[in-house]
Structure 1
Amino acid sequence: MEPKTRNDGLEIQFFLYGLTIVYKTSSSNQNIYVTERSEFNGIRGKFRMLQFSPEVVQGIINMEQPQCLVASYSRITVDLIDHYAIDFKKGFIIGHGIGTVSSYYPDKNLLTAEIDPLVVEISKKYFGHTGKNVIVGDGQALLKIQEAQSQDVIFLDAYSGIEIPFHLTTKEFFTLTYEKLSDRGILILNYIGKIRNDELLHTLYVTISEIFPSVKLFAANPLSTASQNIFFVASRHVLEDYSPQEATSIQIIGK
């Protein structure tokens, strides 16, 4: 009998999560899986997901209702955009996934940077994305060539496995986003971590606050001690207080 490989172990984990692997491949950046399940958050359907690991979902769609936003983090993202950047004209997304947010705004000028060409191809083949306005390349490098103060929304949703690539967490990067945002533009960052005692969360908050005069944070479950989606919203102008339908404004406690 052959010993189990690391990939064999991962596939067992997918099975234990109740997932069926539809397609799998590897790029120079990560393992890539397309999985399916028949139920999500108590709702029946044909749910198809893009995953780089069993624990994290990069994108999810209900193939029976492809226009619906299945994941709460996607609904929170568009809620924040619709409130803080209502009637935005131009935006830049770093991290394509299956193109959920860009597909939600088909009539907007939204350019997406995705470093992995396989992710783009899989989003088209398995999730019905058109591939429109997606450029393959490093998000920071592609943002640099945009005109100053040309973006009304910059959305950072890039992950390598379960972590944001380090160069997209630096003062240099957030200074670049400040330079590219319009006067009333917003930066949104989707961070997966813990509200309390999360050193990187604290570091991100300090770094972003050194550059942007107004920064707010939101989480779906402010009482949870587990990892969850935490949203930064930052801007040149003062951001008013707001309570998204599925999230709550939070304050950082400890490092």
Structure 2
Amino acid sequence: MDLLFKTASPNHEITVYDITELYGEKGRFRVLEFSNQAIQGAMDLDEPARILFEYPRAMIHLIESNMPSFDRMFVIGHGIGTLAGHYAERRVKVAELDPTVVELSKTFFGYTQHNVSIGDGREILGNEEQHAYDCIVLDAFTDKGTPHHLISQPFFAMCREKLDSSGMLMMNLFGKGEHDQLMNAIYTTLGEEFAYLKAFALPSGGTSDIQNMILVGRNRPIGFQARQMAGFTEIEPGQGYVIRDRGSN
């Protein structure tokens, strides 16, 4: 490992390093990592435009299957800017809590857009116009997981109001698939605001293993082709409780 940068920001311990093997693949890779060895982004130094992780590839398929001519996207959680960089020709606005992450994406990962607003994603989205977006993507994590105020019913209601009538909310999450109480609750809460839901997970070794998951909410049917989902398979979460904002009745 070749360490390029390390710091402790108010939100994370952040490290950037180069390695010659990533998830069993040999090559030259650059990695952005948060606390607890949580990889937030990675780039193939020999093919920088290549999207390495499965979840953005699956999200791109969902976007292009359902909204091929979309124009405006709002992303909460910047990382190295994978989705925003892929759609550099579209109108994308990104909210990122940590300014250090944005600077590192430009310095070490070649991010060239000037479309990132620093601050809490929910607050920034709340100031946007109604029905302004075709797609909202939630990809935000702390060392405790996805922040509570970004998985609550009032937040999902806000997202629905900011999306146009055919718009779609997509969430990158980690859980235990169909056997995770919190994932069931997020899925149930999403259903309070959207008529059509889909849930997908990457396979794991056992029912207790943490899986990468994608949840989707929309008020129109959600189409996809299984072979284009980068290894994600559709799952059916169970019924859960509705997540309210903390401190609300």
TM-score of the two chains, using structure 2 as the length reference? 0.89
**What is the letter of the counterpart of residue 131 of structure 2?**
Q
Superposed structure 1 runs of 4+ greater than 6 Å apart: none
1:213 and 1:223 map into 2 onto residues whose CA distance is: 32
Partner of 2:244: none
**What is the letter of the counterpart of residue 214 of structure 1?**
Y
* 3-state SS in 1 of match to 2:37: coil
8 A Cα contact 1:215 1:233, kept in partner: yes
Q: How does 1:195-210 map to 2 (within 5 A)?
A: 195-210=177-192
Partner of 2:229: 245
Partner of 2:23: 41
Partner of 1:230: 213
Partner of 1:67: 49
Deviation, 1:166, is 1.2
Which of 114, 126, 130 does residue 144 from structure 1 map onto? 126
Deviation, 1:132, is 1.8
Partner of 1:16: none
8 A Cα contact 1:56 1:162, kept in partner: no
**What is the letter of the counterpart of residue 35 of structure 1?**
Y
What do residues 184-218 of structure 1 show as CA deviations (whole Å, max 9, x unaligned)?
11000001111132111011011100111111111
Which of 134, 137, 145 does residue 163 from structure 1 map onto? 145
2:198 and 2:28 map into 1 onto residues whose CA distance is: 35
Percent of aligned pairs with the same residue?
35
8 A Cα contact 1:197 1:254, kept in partner: no
* 3-state SS in 2 of match to 1:78: helix
8 A Cα contact 1:195 1:253, kept in partner: no
2:150 and 2:37 map into 1 onto residues whose CA distance is: 22
Q: Which region of structure 1 is more displaced relative to structure 2, 107-116 or 73-82?
A: 73-82
What do residues 77-100 of structure 1 show as CA deviations (whole Å, max 9, x unaligned)?
211211122111101000000000
Q: Pick closer, same or farther for the CA change 1:72–1:162 going to 2, 3 Å.
A: farther
Q: Which region of structure 1 is more displaced relative to structure 2, 26-35 or 147-156?
A: 26-35
Partner of 1:14: none
Q: Which region of structure 1 is more displaced relative to structure 2, 86-95 or 40-49?
A: 40-49
Q: Pick closer, same or farther for the CA change 1:196–1:235 going to 2, 3 Å.
A: closer
1:28 and 1:131 map into 2 onto residues whose CA distance is: 24
Q: Which region of structure 1 is more displaced relative to structure 2, 21-30 or 171-180?
A: 21-30
Deviation, 1:125, is 0.8
* 3-state SS in 2 of match to 1:154: strand
**In the alignment, does 2:42 pair up with 1:57?**
no
1:84 and 1:228 map into 2 onto residues whose CA distance is: 25
Q: How does 1:17-166 map to 2 (within 5 A)?
A: 19-161=1-143, 163-166=145-148
Gaps of 5+ in 1: 1-18
Gaps of 5+ in 2: 241-249
What do residues 9-42 of structure 1 show as CA deviations (whole Å, max 9, x unaligned)?
xxxxxxxxxx443211011111111122101233
* 3-state SS in 1 of match to 2:142: coil
2:108 and 2:88 map into 1 onto residues whose CA distance is: 19
Partner of 1:5: none
Q: Which has the higher contact order (CA 8 A, sep 6+)?
A: 2
Q: How many residues align?
A: 237
* 3-state SS in 2 of match to 1:196: helix
8 A Cα contact 1:195 1:222, kept in partner: no
RMSD: 1.7
Q: Pick closer, same or farther for the CA change 1:165–1:213 going to 2, 3 Å.
A: same
